[in-house]
Structure 1
Amino acid sequence: MQKVVLIGECMLELREGKNGVMHQSFAGDAYNTAVYQKRAFPEQDVSFMSALGSDVVSDKLFKHCEQASLNNQYLTRKSEQNPGVYLVQTDEHGERSFLYWRENSAARQIMRYIDNDMIETMLDSDLVFFSGISLAVIHSDDRPAFWAMLKRLKESGVKLAFDPNYRPRLWASPEEAQQQFHYAYQLTDILLPGIDDFAQLYGLTQLSEILEFCQPYDIHELVIKNGANSVYCQLGSNLIHLPIAPVKKVVDTTSAGDSFNGVYLGARLAGKEIEHAVSLASKAAAIVIQYPGAITPESDFIERLNQP
């Protein structure tokens, strides 16, 4: 059984529906990735690593992870803080706008609760995933411990996957994000960026520029998401361009990239070729954006993903 650990933050999601009714759920990029990977590949051992408190929202979030069949062994309950909260609103085109309350969330303290014994149990993992959001929410004083943990995992043969998922408001400055992303690129085996990430942070908009930027790093597998149009994959010196079928009716683009990441990583761990992994991951993202919220109904998702 392949073992995967995804590190990040899960928040209480408030989504405004018809007549101003608020719908409550839980979401966060690494958490969403974990949920969709587990749904598509239930035989894989998928763990979500984060920090929770002892409050009622933390209780519900922990149970939510259990209901998603995630392994909760790395979901610590030692923090005195609560989970973060965000409000998402969508327009008629499915595009989102967010309001966040996460400055004092428990997830920001995750590295304070990871000890040597816990890291030892991660050394037999096949893959560890983290994102730019995972990095941004960790207190800056705790990031050296985070990098030390990842270096130890990589030295033990654990593959590391990273999605930059750059969100300017989470960083003190672009320079801070660039420095932290540089550390990430140095360790990453599988990089899953969107072209938008490079455009916003580095001013790079052309594929050739992005490939040149990544060239000095020892990235084994580069998967560049070109919005709703296509995906570029570079494995070694082999560059593949894979178009994506358009979705006629987009309801909510929340979690499109997260679902892609989870299904892609699950497929690659299951031994699928890149073309098959991208096709299945793109299909998953197309399903997700036809439903409101980050996490679609499980039965609908699995049924539609398994349709020929």
Structure 2
Amino acid sequence: MKNIYFLGECMMELKSTDESTMNQSFAGDVYNSAVYLKRCFPETAVSFVTAVGGDQISQRLINRCEGENLSTDAIFRHPNKTLGLYLIETDETGERSFTYWRSDSAAREIVDFLDDSVIARFSANDMLFISGISLAVIQPSHRDKFWQIMEKLKALGVTLVFDPNYRARLWQGADEAKEQIEKALTLCDIALPGVEDFTELYNLHNAEDVIAFCAPFNVPEIIVKNGAASVVSHCDNETVDHTIIPVTHVVDTTSAGDAFNGVYLGARLNQQSVADAIGLAAQAAGVVIQQPGAIAPADVFQQALSDIGFNVN
């Protein structure tokens, strides 16, 4: 059985249903990717790596992970912290805005839990996925140790996957973000950047420029997400533009890239070609953006995949 670990933060999501009531859910970029991978490739072992608290909210997240058939063996309990929190608000035009409370979340302390026994467990898996958000929320004083762990896992043959997923508000400044992102690019085996991230951080505006930027880091497999326009791959010194059929009924793009990442990695773990993996990932992302919220209801998602003839065989 193929297996993959997703390391990062999952927060509690609050969204108003009326003036006096809020709906509670859970979301986070790597968590979302883990969920969509497992739904599309149920035979793949998928683990979520994070730190939570000892409170009931944290337990509900663990229960949710188990409900999505994710392994929780690498979800660690912090004695006096809990989950980060964010609030979604929608204006009269439907535009969404987000307010975050995550500066003291348990996930910021994840490195404290990554002892030798945990590293040994990670070394037995096929892939480990991190994002720019994973890096940003780690305490800066813990990052040197984190990179030592990543270097050890790479030396042991674990495929490291990285999506830069840049969020300016999480970093002390652009220079800090660039340093960490470029460190990740030196180590990763698969990079999953989006053009928008590199436009904001490096003033690059197309997939070809992003690939040229990544070239000196010698990343074997680069998959650039260019919004609804296309996906561009660069593998074995060959660059290929993969046309994506656009979705006409877009409801919420919040988790499009997350779904793409998860399904792409699931396909690659299960010996699909780069082109086929991109096709499957784009199909799944197209389904997700037609549903509200980061995580579409499982039954709705599976029915929508069936309706478009999604096939992983």
TM-score range, shorter chain: over 0.9
CA distance in 2, matches of 1:91, 1:154: 45
The aligned amino acid for 2:249 is K
> CA deviation digits over 1:207-227, x for unaligned, max 9?
332222111112111000001
| Contact persistence 2:207–2:226 (CA under 8 A) | no
Q: Which runs of 5+ in 1 are unaligned?
A: none
SS of the aligned residue for 2:217 comes to: coil
User: Structure 1 residues 181 and 164, CA, compared in 2 at 3 Å: closer, same or farther?
Assistant: same
- Which residue in 1 is equivalent to 2:158? 158
- Which residue in 2 is equivalent to 1:215? 215
Q: Point out the more displaced range, 238-247 or 130-139.
A: 238-247
CA drift at 1:276: 1.3
- Which residue in 2 is equivalent to 1:243? 243
- The number of residues matched between the two structures is 308
SS of the aligned residue for 1:17 comes to: strand
> CA deviation digits over 1:18-42, x for unaligned, max 9?
5564211000001001000100001
| Contact persistence 1:15–1:293 (CA under 8 A) | no
- Which residue in 1 is equivalent to 2:106? 106
SS of the aligned residue for 1:294 comes to: coil
| Contact persistence 1:263–1:277 (CA under 8 A) | yes
CA distance in 2, matches of 1:270, 1:7: 20
| Contact persistence 1:82–1:106 (CA under 8 A) | yes
- Which residue in 2 is equivalent to 1:270? 270
CA distance in 2, matches of 1:283, 1:164: 22
User: Structure 1 residues 208 and 253, CA, compared in 2 at 3 Å: closer, same or farther?
Assistant: closer
User: Structure 1 residues 41 and 95, CA, compared in 2 at 3 Å: closer, same or farther?
Assistant: farther
> CA deviation digits over 1:56-84, x for unaligned, max 9?
11011111111110001100113410100
Structure 1 moving runs of 4+ over 4 Å: 90-95
Q: Which runs of 5+ in 2 are unaligned?
A: none
> CA deviation digits over 1:86-129, x for unaligned, max 9?
01234678653211000000000000111111100111110000
CA distance in 2, matches of 1:234, 1:20: 50
- Which residue in 1 is equivalent to 2:10? 10
Note if 1:74 corresponds to 2:70: no
SS of the aligned residue for 1:209 comes to: helix
After TM superposition, the structure 1 = structure 2 runs for residues 1-308 of structure 1, keeping only pairs within 5 Å, are 1-17=1-17, 21-90=21-90, 96-306=96-306, 307-308=308-309
> CA deviation digits over 1:221-249, x for unaligned, max 9?
10000011110011111111112122222
Q: Tell me the percent identity.
A: 47
SS of the aligned residue for 2:89 comes to: strand
